[in-house]
Amino acid sequence: MKISRFCVLILLIVLGAAVAFADSVNDPRIIIHGVSGSSPTPLCPAKGCTGVGMNFSFSVPKHGSGFLFFTNASGKNWTSLTLIENGTVPASAISCIQNLFTSCTTKTLQNGSVEIVLSGIRSGKNPEIGILNGQSFTIGFACLAESCWPGGLDFTAHAGAAPEPGTVALMLTGLGALVSRRKLWKNPFNS
């Protein structure tokens, strides 16, 4: 009797895992790639890539799938990219494929919008460099099985950039001067 209950429990766990895997396979995907001849994304089309700054917006192609082509024209290297949609597609149903950052996470915000955050960079044998100033990239939308993106769904995007080395040095110098002034203020008669 105990063995049969154990077998039923194992069977339920296996079925649950299979269902979870099947759901993840059928989710709509967002695909973000650099455009420097890297597969599977082609180079910018003949009309070129759209230049964007640190903040920009775009809409899903009318058919719910396809690629949008952009160029980072902000003057800064991006170390993160946050995409927000109005919650039409739940965060749990979004799969992310990308080759520019170390991670991609999705979450539902308090207002019901969905946030997709690409972040983290590293160098080495298989570098993820973020999106460099002047680099072109694509944001693609793929349908999987019967699950597609709603055509015309609006996104807003915000890029994050690491502070420039001079800015960090200036901030630290200013902090040091503030600490020195504070020491004098506490004991103005210190000789």
Q: Is the pLDDT of residue 4 over 90?
A: no
Query: pLDDT value at position 114?
Result: 94
Q: Is the pLDDT of residue 130 over 80?
A: yes
CB burial class (10 A; 0-12, 13-18, 19+) of residue 11?
Answer: exposed
* Alpha-carbon distances, residue 117 vs 30, 102, 139 (angstroms): 12, 11, 13
Mean pLDDT of 131-144: 89
d(CA 53, CA 142): 25
Count how many domains the chain has.
1
d(CA 108, CA 90): 7
Closest to 77 (Cα-Cα) out of 6, 129, 34: 129
Judge contact between 99 and 128, C-beta under 8 A: yes
Query: pLDDT value at position 147?
Result: 80
Q: Is the pLDDT of residue 168 over 80?
A: no
Judge whether 138 lies within some domain: yes
Judge whether 11 lies within some domain: no
Judge whether 31 lies within some domain: yes
Residue that has been written with the tokens 């001067």 in this structure: 177
Judge whether 149 lies within some domain: yes
Judge contact between 141 and 74, C-beta under 8 A: no
Judge whether 76 lies within some domain: yes
Judge contact between 81 and 160, C-beta under 8 A: yes
Helix, strand or coil for residue 161? Answer: strand
Mean pLDDT of 29-41: 63
Q: Is the pLDDT of residue 166 over 70?
A: no
Supply 74's token pair: 């902000």
pLDDT tens-digit map of 64-98: 899 999 999 999 999 999 999 988 888 888 888 88
Query: pLDDT value at position 100?
Result: 87
0.75 surpassed by pTM? no
Judge contact between 108 and 89, C-beta under 8 A: no
Judge whether 3 lies within some domain: no
Judge whether 43 lies within some domain: yes
List the domain range (segments joined by +) for residue 147. 26-184
pLDDT tens-digit map of 104-128: 999 999 999 999 999 988 776 666 7
Judge contact between 156 and 84, C-beta under 8 A: yes
On average, the pLDDT of the chain sits at 75
Most confident of 17-26, 146-155, 168-177: 146-155
Judge whether 5 lies within some domain: no
Out of 34-38, 89-93, 181-185, least confident range:
181-185
